[in-house]
A = this chain, B = another copy of it.
């Protein structure tokens, strides 16, 4: 992976930025992200999967391999889970020394309601061996990455697979999965970064040994440099975002608002311990005030926060917000760098111009 300290974005990064889709921050007003506005990261191409020809194989360290068709799964009692999902690379393009990859600023997030069957039930049906340690999920999407031809594949520890809220999902927001979100079936693991939620599933393999594929051992690790094996990226770190107040300038996205009281609002989430508080600064980080937190609707769904800004004085300001979780982990003021550019959760800054 190449890195650069040049703030300018390369052609390769632009090609990724125009293909993949960010979440427009004004859509933070919606509890559930409307279809087409959830962030989207596709490693290779969106595969062309025909549901009649599709089946899911569950194999490996199981009593016996099982095949499921889409209708087999849809006939079972459905489970619904609402969760916030974020790309592990969110914040990458804010880094001073930037890995060349999908150049997200802060917009790689969304919240959806997924409908499907519990992974645990499907695994039980196949009969998982007592010595299983991981489950490998493989998608229909194929390409080359790091010089290696591959189908996208990621493994998940067996304990996570047994959680009641981990789904094999066939609907998003009450509609059949759109092609770009994994039609006909995807994995949904609430609380984990997006790469875990394998799309376009074709096979599930129960493993007795750790998986060492590209997306596990090379990508998606917190590494200090190319020779550091690092540690795996897993659950989402605490983050908050602010709905940019006022109106934007088309080109710079700078915000303009009037010198009158305004309600600042946004969302906060964490895949680790629950959100304990959100703090807001209207003076560029000199002072911070605690925002009001909305209800926790479900464990891995973002929470709304609000704070009234009573005295926006005419001039230039930088608004900021930061989340703190129940273990006291707070978003850092400065960047959190690692070689792959993962989980840079530095506080969200929104520059605004207040007019008289």
Point out residues on A near B: beta carbons under 8 Å: 6-19, 21-22, 24, 26-27, 29-30, 34-38, 40, 42-46, 48, 93, 100-101, 103-105, 107, 142-146, 149, 178-181, 244, 247-253, 256
Contact = CB atoms under 8 A, between A and B. Distances in A.
A251 B12 contact: yes
A141 B103 CA distance: 27
B250 A14 contact: no
Given A35-B178, A36-B178, A142-B247, A26 B45 contact: yes
B13 A9 contact: yes
Contacts of A11: 7, 9
23 contacts: A8-B9, A8-B10, A12-B251, A12-B253, A13-B14, A14-B14, A14-B17, A14-B105, A15-B252, A16-B251, A18-B103, A21-B36, A26-B46, A35-B36, A35-B178, A36-B40, A44-B248, A142-B247, A143-B250, A144-B247, A144-B248, A144-B249, A145-B251
Number of this chain's copies in the complex: 2
Contact of A100 (B13, B251, B253): B251
Question: Closest 6 A-B residue pairs measured CB to CB?
Answer: A8-B8, A36-B36, A9-B9, A18-B22, A145-B250, A17-B17
Indicate the member of A7, A9, A144, A181 with the most B CB atoms within 10 Å. Answer: A144
A172 to B, nearest CB: 10
Given A12-B252, A45-B244, A144-B247, 19 more contacts: A12-B253, A14-B105, A15-B105, A16-B253, A18-B104, A18-B105, A19-B24, A21-B22, A26-B45, A27-B179, A30-B179, A34-B179, A36-B37, A37-B178, A37-B179, A44-B250, A45-B248, A101-B251, A143-B249
Contacts of A8: 6, 8-10
Indicate the member of A22, A104, A178, A247 with the most B CB atoms within 10 Å. Answer: A247
Contact of A37 (B7, B180, B244, B256): B180
A196 B44 CA distance: 33
Given A45-B247, A180-B36, A14 B24 contact: no
